[in-house]
Structures are given as structure tokens and as C-alpha cells.
């Protein structure tokens, strides 16, 4: 059904012509009219079938239109608005495509009169090297951004109508204030064009410019490509957005001066800091534009990203399609331990000297931690194939970040940084994605406030988290009401800056990676039964670390091999820290055939090669003392329980309800959808398994709710399913286990990724 009776396009170039083509293709208007001073352009638009009518008289062109799109140079906006006013219908909505909003809004306010409230300023960020009406492309706006900048007087109904139009042609519609738009575009679009024009002009003025251009490498060609843009159009933009362009140029000049100074002084750390920050910032920029993962963006080529942008609808939200049956065999080296990867960056940054890390997990969560410390002035080289060099700045060497620290989906990053940042001299703010923004932070904030920290959360105790700097912390003796390694670690990190001793006592054992790693960096840690104590005044010394394979990632393969008849897998170099082996203990109690081979020590962490063979599993009541030792692995354990003979009962696992999702409920919903009989409790679940020899699951569709562990667990369930399992919303698998799908496929799981 059409959105409009008549749409009029004023200015039938690439931008206006492409909107006309998209409106035509989508059947969004009963009639499309063009207005242009050029009769030739109108004739071409008519012959291409883009418009139904065309007029050189702009007032005549807008008669009868209920939406008018003005796509002319910014310098011509005022005259165009003046020309269309006599023909505008009272109800007509006017919007534009100008790349500068301040001057366009001023022109509209001066010229449109009573129609100004129906003017919706906009800017479609799209284009291609060809221009003119012949380059019109109905798909130009698909998966590209359109920014709307309504002002106080703008009719909200008009804004909504324009938003519907752009959404209907496939664009992502964003809103921001006009001044913010002009500043952001000056920095990200106008400044690069200014630099390209300036560089080419500067080199062309040299006497040997012919040789310069003849021997210029690809980097020069790529950077200066935008100097081929229309000089008249860019003259208008630089003139109309003068203040913001000059501010952006000054900002760049200051940055260039810092870079030049670092080169002149031979300051290796400063040079590495600038370039590593720039390298990762560009990767994040590419990821945002391609709607793909930060991990992919780091290693992919520009060509890949252009293709990814074209296929963004799938790349944005991949799905797993897993065919039923099969077995897991061979040797699988799973991803590095996420918990240890986080802490290696944190403590390496706070150490004196350089820390060399091997086996670092290049997943979204760990990369969020790495980026946060880059944002606080720490020079970090890599990661390259799991290798990272952290140039430590000492306990008091972190610098105030210039922006909010974004933690993505990583609760570990946010909670541990709350403790560490509480002791800094500067203020900071932590935020995250939609999932992390729903997760509780008060259980960390409350004891930190007892130490003297000034921490704010939302009214619901969720992110964003604000931390006021310059506070004097005092050590406390804290008895944790609920076992939590993240709370314990946050308090210990705050204790590095607190007066006196900080002692944390836990009601049940939790992972002790922080204590082990502090000792590995030479910082005194006292352990006495269930209590851990640190005192401020020490120092950390850079060292070499090897991150073992993550037992939480290994858990999916342990369960898969245990439930699929005929399976035998070897998982080398897996961390078997006694505070993390609950999944092994639980599976063994259920009858799993798991053997630990080649046990050894790796940088203070115990590791072993795990061999798992398929076996008949029995339902059990899971001992509550094992619950904290397997809290992250329960989604996989639930899959094993559905394949075991008899009931498996879990209590004491309330924490599962406040993970990336409510893992008790989300797993229960998914299991029930696949035909599993179960009952949920506030703190756990009962699952009735079918035993060996027959399918434990039907086929079906699962919603993972963006929880990586849910997605990977149900992928393994297909080994004992009677039909294919489709798992939706799997993008966050990259947070903890990049490459999971490929690795599982090599081991024998019939898994296909769509998107």
C-alpha cells in the first residue's frame, strides 16, 4: 500500500534520482513528480521511468505533493525553498538531503514560513563515484544510514512520516541534533575530504610532482580517491559548515603535532600508542559499518567489508542451522580462557614493564577489555594469533579516557573495572550493549561504596556505571552474601589502591584467577581458607603468560562427545583450575568418561589434556557445592541432562537468572520447544532425560536471546536430535568463542551458519 499520494523530488541527481527509483520500486507513492531547472535532466528521468511528470517551474512541481524531497546543493537550498513555497499544499511535508544541517535549517526557517513546522531536516549518507540521474539506483539506500535532525518546532507526525519513507527504502534511520550532526560529519566526512584535496594540491605544487604521482603506492591512491569529488559541492560544504570544519581541522592539527613530536623525539611508546589505537579504532569503525563483529573487522580486508556491508542483513544477526545426528572425533584446541585473558590485560597494564601474553582469546569480550585500556593510554601491541604485548604503565599510570568505556557484552570487564577504576584519580563511565545494560551491577557497587568509592548506576542498579575519581579508598573485611568471582576480583583490584587491608571471604569457592595472577605478577596475596587478603603499596612486574584453553568453551565439546554415541575427542591444554572444574565433576557424577592426561602447570594455572568418550549418562541431583564451580557451564550441562537416564535436579543456581540472559528460563523454553520434559524453580530446574539409544530432542527453532552459551549448547543438542535445529540470534558467540562453528564442524557437528 502506498505511503503517499504524491512524492515530489526537487533535484534529480544521484541522490534524488535514487530516492525516486526506490519509491517506484517499492510502490511507496501513487505518483512521482520531479522538479529541476534542467529540461534535459527531466527528460532523462522520464525516459528512465523514474518519474511520472517533470517541471522546471518548482512551484508547479510541488503542487499536489504530500511529501517533497529537496536534493540540491546546500548553497541553493534557500532559493529552492523560496521557489517551492507558492505551490506547497498546506499538509505537505518537506525534507531534504543536505550534508550540512545548521545552514539548511536556517534557510528553511527564513523561507518556508508557516510550512517550517512541516520541514524535517535529513541527510542520507550514501553515494557512489558516478553522479547524475543516469546513476540512479533503487538499492542505493539499503543498509545505509539516514540521519534526521528535527528541531523543537518540527511536527512529530511529519518526522515519523519521513522516517517511514526512509525505512521503507531499506535505510537505517538515526536521529541527532543539528549541531551534533554538523560536528560529527565535519570530523568523519568533511575533514577527510579537506585533507585529500590539500595533500594532492600540496604535492602537485612540487617541481617533481610527476614522479611523485607516477610512483605513488596504493595507499596514496586509496586515500586521495576522494579528491576526485565535485569541487563545487565541497566548496559549498566547507563554506556552509565553516565553524565545524575549522574545529575538526584544528583537532587534526593537534593530533598531527603529537605524531610529529613522537617521531622527532624517537618516542617508541608514543608512536606505538597512536598507531595501535588508530588500528583498532578503524577496525571498530569498519565493524559498525558492516554490522559484523569487531573480531572480523580486525583481520578482514576492505573488500571483504564492502561485501559484508552489501549483505549486512544476514551478517547482522547470524543463525546456526544444525543437522541431526553425528559424532565428535579427533583433536580440538578450543579458544583461550576468557577469564584469564581479561585479567592478563588488566594486570599487564598495571604492571611495571612489558607483559608478553600467548594464547589470548581474540573474542569480543576480551577485546572490549583490551580496548578499554588502550583508551586509558596503555600501549598494547596485537593481538596477532593470540600474542599480545602490554606496555605496563604501573599502578598509577592510567590516564583519563576521552570517552565512555564501552564493554560490549562483557559483564566481567565491567564488574572488574568498577573495582579498578574506583581507585583512580579520574572520573570514568562504563556502558555496554543492550544485554549488558540489563544486568545487575549493585552487588559490586555496594561493597565498593563501603570502601569509599563513588559509584552510580541506574535506578534499577544497571549500567551505565559512573565512577567519580579522586576518592580515598579504605580496606574492608567483606563477607560475600553470594559466591561470585567477579565481586571478589573487583574488591581485590580496588584493594590495590585502598588504605590498609582488603579481605574478602566467600561462602563457597569461586574461580581464583585474580589471586593466582596477582601472585604471578609479584604482588603479595594472602590466602587463608575462604578468605583472600591484599594490602596496598605493592607493585606488579611485567612477565610472560600463556593463557590455557578455556574450560567453559571445552564444556560444549565435553557434553557433545559424551552424548553422541561413538564419539572420542582430545581437548589439549585446557585449564583445570580447581575453582573451574565443576563441569568435569558433574559430568563424571553423571557417568561421563572423562580422563585428564599430561597434567602440568602453565604460568601458575594447572592445565591438562582432556580425553572424552561417549557413554551412557544418568540423572543426578547436582551437589550444591559444585554449583559455583560450574556456573557458566550449566546451559551445556542441561543438554547432557536431557540425554541422561532419569531426572537431573539443580538447586542453588539463582545467579543463572542474571547472566547474559535468564539462563534457567531461556534454556527451559528451548528444551521444552525440543520436546524435553522439565520443571523450573526460582533457583534451578528439573530435567527428565530419555537415556541412551534414542533421540533426546525433536527438531525445531530456538531463540538464544543473544546469549552465546545458549546458542552453543543447543548446537550440541543436535547430536541427539531427530530433526534439524535452527538457533536464532547467534552473533554474540564471538564474545567468548570466535571460530566455534568452524571448529565444531571439523570435529563432526553438521553446523551451517546463515549470515
Sign of CA dihedral 693, 699, 705, 708: positive
Q: Is 307 annotated as a binding residue?
A: no
Locate the DSSP E strands across 170-213: 172-175
pLDDT in tens, 189-228: 899 999 989 988 888 777 665 666 666 667 787 778 888 7
Of 203 and 545, the structure prediction assigns the larger pLDDT to: 545
CA angle 655, 661, 662 (to 5 degrees): 55
Mean pLDDT of the chain: 91
pLDDT at 251 over 70: yes
The DSSP line for 547-608 is PPBPHHHHHHHHHHHHHSTT-EEEEEEEE--TTTTHHHHHHHHTT-EEEEEEEEEETTEEEE
* Active-site annotation, residues: 632
In 3D space, the residue among 703, 747, 701, 690 whose CA is nearest the CA of residue 724 turns out to be 701
pLDDT at position 279: 78
Residue 707 grid cell: 546469549
Residue 729 grid cell: 540470534
Q: Does domain 320-330+549-754 have CATH number 3.65.10.10?
A: yes
Helix axes of 268-290 and 364-375: crossing angle, nearest 10 degrees: 130
Torsions phi, psi of 494, nearest 5?
-65, -35
d(CA 65, CA 4): 8
pLDDT at 438 over 80: yes
pLDDT at position 462: 95
Q: Is 663 annotated as a binding residue?
A: yes
Torsions phi, psi of 598, nearest 5?
55, 50
DSSP lists the bridge partners of residue 358 as 546
**Element (H or E) spanning 688, and its range?**
strand 684-690
pLDDT at 287 over 80: no
pLDDT at 300 over 70: no
pLDDT at 350 over 70: yes
pLDDT at position 277: 79
609 pLDDT band, cuts 50/70/90, is: very high
Q: Is 632 annotated as a binding residue?
A: yes
pLDDT in tens, 147-193: 999 999 999 999 999 999 999 999 999 999 999 999 999 998 899 99
The secondary structure of residue 335, as a DSSP letter, is: P
Q: Is 13 annotated as a binding residue?
A: no
289 pLDDT band, cuts 50/70/90, is: very low
pLDDT at 293 over 50: no
Q: Mean of the pLDDT values across residues 705-712? A: 94
pLDDT at position 291: 39
Residue 337, classed as helix, strand or coil, is coil
Q: Mean of the pLDDT values across residues 25-50? A: 94
Task: Name the residue ranges covered by the structural domains of the chain.
Answer: 4-176, 320-330+549-754, 338-546
Helix axes of 551-563 and 634-643: crossing angle, nearest 10 degrees: 10
Q: Is 709 annotated as a binding residue?
A: yes
Residue 470, classed as helix, strand or coil, is coil
Q: Is 411 annotated as a binding residue?
A: yes
132 pLDDT band, cuts 50/70/90, is: confident
**Element (H or E) spanning 431, and its range?**
strand 428-431
Of 402 and 206, the structure prediction assigns the larger pLDDT to: 402
Q: Percent of the chain scored above 90 by pLDDT?
A: 77
pLDDT in tens, 733-754: 987 788 899 999 999 999 999 9
pLDDT at position 304: 36
Neighbours of 168 (CB within 10 A): 15
Considering the domain 4-176 in this protein, what is its CATH number? 3.40.50.720
Check: pTM over 0.85? Answer yes or no: no
Residue matched to cell numbers 575453582: 579
pLDDT in tens, 465-519: 999 999 999 999 999 998 899 999 999 999 999 999 999 999 988 889 999 999 9
DSSP lists the bridge partners of residue 429 as 466
Q: Mean of the pLDDT values across residues 668-684? A: 97
Query: Does residue 383 have a cis peptide bond before it, meaning omega lies within 30 degrees of 0?
Result: yes
Neighbours of 388 (CB within 10 A): 24
Q: Is 243 annotated as a binding residue?
A: no
Are 690 and 697 spatial neighbours (Cβ–Cβ below 8 Å)?
Answer: no
Q: Mean of the pLDDT values across residues 288-302? A: 42
Sign of CA dihedral 92, 96, 102, 103: negative
d(CA 522, CA 199): 50
Q: Percent of the chain scored above 70 by pLDDT?
A: 94
**Helix residue ranges, H only, 618-731:** 634-643, 663-673, 708-717
Q: Does domain 338-546 have CATH number 3.40.50.80?
A: no
pLDDT at position 209: 59
pLDDT in tens, 301-348: 333 333 333 333 344 579 999 999 999 999 999 989 999 999 999 999
Q: Mean of the pLDDT values across residues 104-127? A: 94
pLDDT at position 210: 64
The whole-angstrom distance between residue 235's C-alpha and the CA centroid of its chain comes to 36
pLDDT in tens, 95-111: 999 999 999 999 999 99
The answer to whether domain 320-330+549-754 and domain 338-546 are alike in fold is yes
The secondary structure of residue 289, as a DSSP letter, is: H
pLDDT at 297 over 80: no
Amino acid at each position: 500500500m502506498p505511503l503517499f499520494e504524491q512524492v515530489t523530488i526537487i533535484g534529480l541527481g544521484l541522490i534524488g534520482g535514487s530516492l525516486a527509483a526506490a519509491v517506484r520500486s517499492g510502490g511507496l507513492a501513487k505518483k512521482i513528480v520531479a522538479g529541476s531547472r534542467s529540461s534535459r535532466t527531466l527528460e532523462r528521468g522520464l525516459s528512465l521511468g523514474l518519474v511520472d511528470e517533470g517541471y522546471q517551474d518548482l512551484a508547479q512541481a510541488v503542487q499536489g505533493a504530500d511529501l517533497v524531497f529537496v536534493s540540491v546543493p546546500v548553497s541553493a537550498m534557500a532559493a529552492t525553498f523560496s521557489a517551492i513555497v507558492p505551490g506547497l499544499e498546506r499538509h505537505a511535508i518537506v525534507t531534504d538531503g543536505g550534508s550540512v544541517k545548521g545552514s539548511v535549517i536556517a534557510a528553511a526557517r527564513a523561507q518556508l514560513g508557516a510550512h517550517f513546522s512541516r520541514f524535517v531536516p535529513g541527510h542520507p549518507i550514501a553515494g557512489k563515484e558516478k553522479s547524475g540521474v543516469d546513476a540512479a539506483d533503487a538499492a542505493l539506500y539499503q543498509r545505509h544510514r539516514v540521519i534526521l535532525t528535527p528541531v523543537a518546532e518540527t511536527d512529530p507526525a511529519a518526522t515519523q512520516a519521513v522516517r517511514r519513507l526512509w525505512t521503507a527504502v531499506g535505510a537505517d534511520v538515526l536521529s541527532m541534533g543539528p549541531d551534533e550532526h554538523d560536528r560529527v560529519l565535519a570530523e568523519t566526512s568533511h575533514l577527510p575530504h579537506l585533507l585529500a584535496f590539500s595533500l594532492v594540491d600540496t604535492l602537485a605544487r612540487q617541481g617533481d610532482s610527476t614522479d611523485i604521482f607516477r610512483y605513488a603506492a596504493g595507499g596514496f591512491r586509496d586515500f586521495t580517491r576522494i579528491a576526485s569529488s565535485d569541487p563545487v559541492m565541497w566548496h559549498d560544504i566547507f563554506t556552509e559548515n565553516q565553524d565545524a570544519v575549522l574545529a575538526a581541522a584544528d583537532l587534526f592539527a593537534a593530533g598531527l603535532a603529537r605524531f610529529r613530536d613522537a617521531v622527532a623525539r624517537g618516542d617508541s611508546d608514543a608512536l606505538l600508542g597512536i598507531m595501535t589505537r588508530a588500528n583498532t579504532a578503524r577496525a571498530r569503525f569498519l565493524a559498525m559499518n558492516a554490522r559484523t563483529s569487531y573480531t572480523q573487522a580486525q583481520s578482514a580486508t576492505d573488500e571483504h567489508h564492502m561485501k559484508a556491508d552489501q549483505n549486512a542483513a544476514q551478517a547482522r544477526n547470524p543463525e546456526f542451522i544444525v543437522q541431526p545426528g553425528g559424532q565428535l572425533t579427533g583433536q580440538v584446541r578450543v579458544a583461550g580462557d576468557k577469564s584469564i585473558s581479561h585479567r592478563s590485560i588488566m594486570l599487564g597494564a598495571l604492571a611495571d614493564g612489558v607483559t608478553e601474553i600467548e594464547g589470548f582469546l581474540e573474542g569480543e569480550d576480551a577485546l572490549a577489555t583490551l580496548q578499554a585500556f588502550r583508551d586509558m593510554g596503555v600501549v598494547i601491541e596485537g593481538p596477532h594469533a593470540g600474542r599480545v604485548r602490554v606496555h605496563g604503565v604501573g599502578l598509577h599510570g592510567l590516564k583519563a579516557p576521552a570517552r565512555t568505556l564501552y564493554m560490549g557484552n562483557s559483564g566481567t570487564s565491567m564488574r572488574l573495572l568498577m573495582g579498578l577504576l574506583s581507585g583512580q584519580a579520574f572520573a570514568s563511565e562504563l556502558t555496554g550493549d543492550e544485554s549488558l545494560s540489563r544486568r545487575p551491577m549493585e552487588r559490586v557497587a555496594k561493597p565498593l561504596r563501603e570502601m569509599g568509592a563513588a559509584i552510580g548506576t541506574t535506578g534499577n542498579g544497571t549500567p551505565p556505571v559512573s565512577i567519580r575519581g579522586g576518592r580515598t579508598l579504605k580496606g574492608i573485611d567483606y563477607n560475600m552474601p553470594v559466591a561470585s568471582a567477579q565481586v571478589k576480583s573487583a574488591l581485590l583490584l580496588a584493594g590495590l589502591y585502598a588504605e590498609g587491608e582488603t579481605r574478602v571471604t566467600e561462602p563457597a569457592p569461586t574461580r581464583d584467577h585474580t589471586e593466582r595472577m596477582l601472585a604471578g605478577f609479584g604482588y603479595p596475596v594472602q590466602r587463608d581458607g575462604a578468605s583472600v587478603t591484599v594490602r596496598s603499596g605493592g607493585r606488579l612486574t611485567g612477565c610472560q603468560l600463556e593463557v590455557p584453553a578455556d574450560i567453559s568453551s571445552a564444556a560444549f565439546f565435553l557434553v557433545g562427545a559424551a552424548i553422541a554415541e561413538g564419539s572420542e575427542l582430545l581437548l589439549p591444554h585446557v585449564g583445570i583450575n580447581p575453582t573451574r572444574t565443576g563441569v568435569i565433576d558433574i559430568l563424571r557424577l553423571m557417568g561421563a568418561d572423562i580422563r585428564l592426561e599430561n597434567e602440568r602447570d602453565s604460568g601458575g594455572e594447572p592445565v591438562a589434556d582432556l580425553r572424552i568418550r561417549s557413554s551412557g549418562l544418568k540423572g543426578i541431583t547436582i551437589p550444591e557445592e559444585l554449583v559455583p564451580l560450574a556456573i557458566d557451564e550449566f546451559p551445556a550441562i542441561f543438554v547432557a541432562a536431557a540425554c541422561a537416564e532419569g531426572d537431573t535436579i539443580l538447586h542453588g543456581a539463582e545467579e543463572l537468572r542474571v547472566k547474559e540472559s535468564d539462563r534457567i528460563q531461556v534454556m527451559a523454553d528451548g528444551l521444552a520447544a525440543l520436546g524435553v520434559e522439565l520443571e523450573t524453580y526460582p533457583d534451578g530446574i528439573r530435567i527428565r532425560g530419555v537415556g541412551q539409544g534414542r533421540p533426546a530432542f525433536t527438531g525445531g527453532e530456538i531463540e538464544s536471546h543473544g546469549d552465546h552459551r545458549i546458542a552453543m549448547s543447543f548446537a550440541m543438542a543436535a547430536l541427539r536430535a531427530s530433526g534439524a535445529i535452527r538457533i536464532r540470534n547467534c552473533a554474540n558467540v564471538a564474545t567468548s568463542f570466535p571460530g566455534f562453528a568452524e571448529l565444531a564442524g571439523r570435529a563432526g557437528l553438521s553446523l551451517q551458519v546463515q549470515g
